[in-house]
Amino acid sequence: MPEFKRPALVSALSYQDPKAALTWLEAAFGFEPVMVILDDDETLLHSEMRFGDGLVMIGSEWSATRRSPKSIGGLGTQSVHVQLDEDIDAHCDRARAAGAVIEQAPEDQFYGDRTYRAVDPEGHLWTFGQTINPMSDAEMAESGGVTVRARL
């Protein structure tokens, strides 16, 4: 088996029930489990899931400051974005059928992507995008009435 090199940037999410999250993320979003580490009592210590060339780590609530949104009244401080190559509308339908709460249905954006937002069973926000109209920075700026540049 070829050695897997982790991407330079990886998201890690905490869940009350990380085993259920692994199963749900595979069914709803098509993530592929690639590593699960369990202790002698079958408690999940660490896991990793791939999607394309990306990676997400799924684990338990491991400290007073690393909690699932479900444990803190649904609050969240981040979302995870996934860029799709596949049909975004079909992906959204799959997520909805698995029980995702769709906060924003697939919608075309001024910058050339079609995006949707979904919330998983423990309250993590996921955004998904698919480029449907590749644009230059100048085209995005004109289309959205915004300024696009690399730095402030």
Q: Which CATH number is 96's domain given?
A: 3.10.180.10
The answer to the question of residue 151 being in a domain is no
The answer to the question of residue 123 being in a domain is yes
- Residue 118 sits at φ, ψ, to 5 deg, of -135, 150
| Domains held by the chain: number | 1
Three-class secondary structure of residue 144 per DSSP = helix
pTM: 0.91
**Which residue, 86, 21, 5, is CA-closest to 57?**
21
Per-residue confidence (pLDDT) for residue 59, from 0 to 100: 92
* Strands ordered across the beta sheet of 113-119: 79-83, 125-131, 113-119, 101-108
The answer to the question of residue 108 being in a domain is yes
The answer to the question of residue 130 being in a domain is yes
The answer to the question of residue 127 being in a domain is yes
Are the beta carbons of 123 and 76 closer than 8 angstroms? yes
The answer to the question of residue 124 being in a domain is yes
The answer to the question of residue 47 being in a domain is yes
Question: If you average pLDDT over every residue of the chain, what do you get?
Answer: 93
The answer to the question of residue 69 being in a domain is no
The residue range of the domain holding 15 is 11-59+79-144
CB atoms closer than 10 angstroms to residue 82? 19
Residue range 68-119, pLDDT digits in tens: 888 888 888 889 999 999 999 999 999 999 999 999 999 999 999 999 999 9
Three-class secondary structure of residue 142 per DSSP = helix
